[in-house]
């Protein structure tokens, strides 16, 4: 766990975007923790979140020419991250899509810079990988090349098979997937927080039950 991951987890908990208790996931699993990026709902916390995304990208070896945010949660994220990167001396164009094609004005489904070059796809999490699959197809249809995927949290748990949703994306599209934090980071962070250590056993058991064996 690095300082970026630690800062992200602390911020997410402070904003109640990271919660502990009993939650049913889309897969029908009873999870002892839950993450909702939509709860970074004010300027200060959202700015900080986008800064942590930017730091994660800049500390990696991924290089890209522009950013793309799939609707809906990727839309504010891609704009905020582009601003944070510009403040760090990396001014990149960005674009996002709308769910339905616009039939008036400029038309189409993509808003922002023309899709070109190596494109970083930005989202909050990867669940079934649907938005990534759609984004990859959209980018390649426009003649651009996906460079990587950047998400906030990798839950490191199995999808429909033995691989996690993140691993499935890596294998299907041959793309790196960067995460600001992972489940392993979360376990390490909880071990450092005396007031939250009581949640460790349940999350460790959840990982033993649903964790991806190759993550």
**30: in domain:** yes
Number of domains in the chain: 1
**195: in domain:** yes
> In the prediction, which pLDDT does 125 show?
92
**pLDDT, tens digit (0-9, with 9 covering 90-100), for 101-138:** 655 445 578 999 999 999 999 999 998 788 999 999 99
**215: in domain:** no
77-87 residues labelled b (16+ CB within 10 A) or e (exposed):
bbbbbbbbbee
**157: in domain:** yes
Catalytic site residue from 26, 99, 104, 174: 104
> In the prediction, which pLDDT does 172 show?
93
26 belongs to the catalytic site? no
How would residue 99 be classed by pLDDT, with cut points 50, 70 and 90?
Answer: confident
What CATH number does residue 136 fall under?
A: 3.40.50.2020
**89: in domain:** yes
d(CA 26, CA 39): 18
**190: in domain:** yes
H helix or E strand, kind and range, residue 125: none
**pLDDT, tens digit (0-9, with 9 covering 90-100), for 62-94:** 999 999 999 999 999 999 999 999 999 999 999
**78: in domain:** yes
Catalytic site residue from 13, 102, 174, 199: 102
Cis peptide bond upstream of 203, omega within 30 = no
Share of the chain above pLDDT 70, in %: 96
3-state secondary structure (DSSP) of residue 88: coil
> In the prediction, which pLDDT does 98 show?
85
**130: in domain:** yes
> In the prediction, which pLDDT does 130 show?
86
> In the prediction, which pLDDT does 160 show?
75
Alpha-helical (H) ranges within the chain are 3-14, 43-58, 74-87, 130-141, 165-173, 183-192, 200-210
d(CA 63, CA 154): 21
> In the prediction, which pLDDT does 107 show?
52
104 belongs to the catalytic site? yes
Domain range for residue 189? Answer: 3-210
């Amino acid at each position: 766990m690095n300082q970026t991951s630690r800062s992200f987890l602390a911020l997410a908990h402070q904003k109640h975007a990271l919660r502990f208790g009993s939650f049913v996931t889309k897969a029908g699993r009873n999870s002892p923790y839950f993450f909702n990026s939509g709860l970074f709902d004010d300027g200060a916390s959202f700015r900080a979140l986008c800064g942590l995304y930017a730091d994660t990208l800049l500390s990696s070896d991924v290089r890209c020419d522009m950013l793309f945010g799939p609707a809906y949660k990727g839309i504010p994220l891609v704009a905020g991250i582009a601003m944070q990167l510009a403040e760090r001396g990396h001014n990149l164009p960005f674009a996002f899509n709308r769910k339905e094609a616009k039939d008036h004005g400029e038309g189409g489904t993509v808003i922002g810079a023309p899709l070109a070059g190596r494109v970083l796809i930005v989202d909050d999490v990867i669940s079934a990988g649907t938005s990534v699959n759609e984004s990859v197809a959209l980018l390649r249809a426009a003649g651009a090349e996906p460079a990587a995927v950047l998400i906030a949290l990798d839950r490191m748990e199995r999808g429909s098979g033995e691989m996690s949703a993140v691993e499935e994306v890596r294998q299907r599209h041959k793309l790196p997937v960067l995460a600001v934090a992972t489940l392993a980071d979360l376990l390490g962070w909880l071990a450092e927080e005396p007031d939250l250590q009581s949640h460790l056993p349940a999350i460790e058991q959840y990982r033993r039950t649903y964790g991806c064996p190759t993550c």
